[in-house]
C-alpha cells in the first residue's frame, strides 16, 4: 500500500507542476494510468546479502544491480546476518506472500545461503546444518508455495570459498578456540547448491565459488592452480583470495564486483548496453510525456 500511495502522490505532484491548461490536465489523467507496483528482484540470504547494501572500496553490489534494472524492477534486500537455511525456513511464511494488488510480483529471486550452514559443528557455534539437510532446505525454500506463486526466475548462488588462514586469524581474535570454517567443507556446500540448481527446473546456478577462485588464481603470480588451493593451511598462503575475503568469509568490494558480474548475465543483460535502452520502463520516458 505504501508503494501505491507513493506513486499516487508522485502523480499528484507532477500534476501540480505541469497543469496550466485543461489540455495539460488531460495529459496527466492519461499518465496516471501508468501507476502500478514495480516487480521485484529479491535478494535472500545471510550477511553476504545483508552487506550487499554497503559501499566498500567505492562499490555497492545492490546499488549497482538497482542501477542495472532502474525504472523496471525494484531490488529488495532480505539478508539476515548469521542465518542458515533452517533459520530462513522458520520465517518463510512471513517473508513471502503470493502476488496481489498490494504485493508486487517477484520476477527474480536470488538466493545465497550456506556459508553459515558450513560452519564447523563445535560448541561455540550453533549454525551448522548437515549437508543432506542443507540440500533438503534449499529445495524447501525454492518450492515454497508463496514463492512459486510468483513464478520467478530463481538464481541459486553457490556459497563463496573460505580463506582458512584469514578465517583463523579472525576467529582467534574473537576468542574462539579454533578456526570455524574449513575450505574443503565450504566447497562441499557450494557443490550441493550447484547440484540443486542443476536438478531443479527454473533454477539457474550462479557459481560465485568458482568465479572468486578463478579471479584470485589469475591474480596470484606463480600460483599453481593444480596444487593446493589458495587460502588453505596446506598451501600456507592466501594470495589474491585474502584480498577478496578480508576476514576469510565476508566479501570485499572487489569480490562484490566479481559477484555482480556473475549475476548480470542472468538479469536482462540487454539493459547493460552502451546504447540507451528504455525498453521495459514502467513509467514513460520524459520524452513520451510531451507526446501524449
pLDDT single digits (tens) 107-140: 999 999 999 999 998 777 889 999 999 999 999 9
Q: Is the distance from CB of 245 to CB of 161 less than 8 angstroms?
A: yes
pLDDT digit string, tens, across residues 165-209 = 999 999 999 888 899 999 999 999 999 999 999 999 999 999 999
Torsion of CA 212, 214, 216, 218, to 10 degrees: -150
Q: What is the pLDDT of residue 4?
A: 47
* Pairing state between β 40-45 and 74-79: parallel
The three-class DSSP label of residue 106 is strand
Longest dimension (CA), the chain: 77
Helices (H) and strands (E) in the chain, counts: 14, 5
**What is the mean predicted confidence (pLDDT) over 6-21?**
49
Q: How many CB atoms lie within 10 A of CB 57?
A: 12
At 92, which helix (H) or strand (E)? helix 92-95
Locate 117 and state its grid cell.
550452514
Q: What is the pLDDT of residue 121?
A: 86
Give the global pTM.
Answer: 0.86
The three-class DSSP label of residue 32 is helix
Amino acid at each position: 500500500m505504501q508503494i501505491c500511495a507513493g506513486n499516487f502522490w508522485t502523480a499528484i505532484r507532477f500534476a501540480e507542476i505541469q497543469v496550466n491548461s485543461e489540455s495539460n490536465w488531460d495529459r496527466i489523467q492519461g499518465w496516471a494510468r501508468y501507476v502500478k507496483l514495480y516487480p521485484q528482484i529479491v535478494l535472500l540470504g545471510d550477511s553476504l546479502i545483508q552487506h550487499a547494501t554497503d559501499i566498500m572500496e567505492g562499490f555497492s553490489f545492490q546499488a549497482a544491480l538497482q542501477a542495472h534494472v532502474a525504472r523496471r524492477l525494484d531490488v529488495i534486500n532480505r539478508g539476515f546476518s548469521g542465518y542458515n537455511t533452517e533459520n530462513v525456513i522458520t520465517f518463510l511464511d512471513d517473508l513471502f506472500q503470493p502476488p496481489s494488488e498490494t504485493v508486487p510480483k517477484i520476477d527474480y529471486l536470488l538466493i545465497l545461503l550456506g556459508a553459515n550452514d558450513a560452519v564447523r559443528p563445535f560448541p561455540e557455534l550453533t549454525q551448522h546444518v548437515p549437508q543432506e539437510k542443507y540440500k533438503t532446505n534449499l529445495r524447501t525454500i525454492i518450492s515454497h508455495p508463496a514463492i512459486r506463486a510468483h513464478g520467478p526466475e530463481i538464481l541459486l548462488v553457490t556459497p563463496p570459498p573460505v580463506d582458512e588462514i584469514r578465517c583463523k586469524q579472525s576467529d582467534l581474535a574473537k576468542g574462539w578456540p579454533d578456526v570455524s570454517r574449513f575450505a574443503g567443507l565450504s566447497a562441499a556446500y557450494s557443490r550441493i547448491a550447484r547440484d540443486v540448481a542443476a536438478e531443479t527446473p527454473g533454477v539457474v546456478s550462479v557459481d560465485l565459488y568458482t568465479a572468486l577462485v578463478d579471479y584470485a588464481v589469475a591474480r596470484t603470480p606463480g600460483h599453481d592452480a593444480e596444487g593446493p588451493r589458495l587460502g588453505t593451511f596446506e598451501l600456507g598462503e592466501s594470495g589474491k583470495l585474502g584480498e577478496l575475503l578480508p576476514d576469510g568469509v565476508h566479501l570485499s568490494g572487489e569480490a562484490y564486483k566479481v559477484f555482480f558480474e556473475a549475476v548480470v548475465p542472468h538479469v536482462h543483460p540487454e539493459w547493460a548496453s552502451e546504447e540507451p535502452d528504455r525498453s521495459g520502463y514502467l513509467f514513460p520516458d520524459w520524452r513520451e510525456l510531451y507526446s501524449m
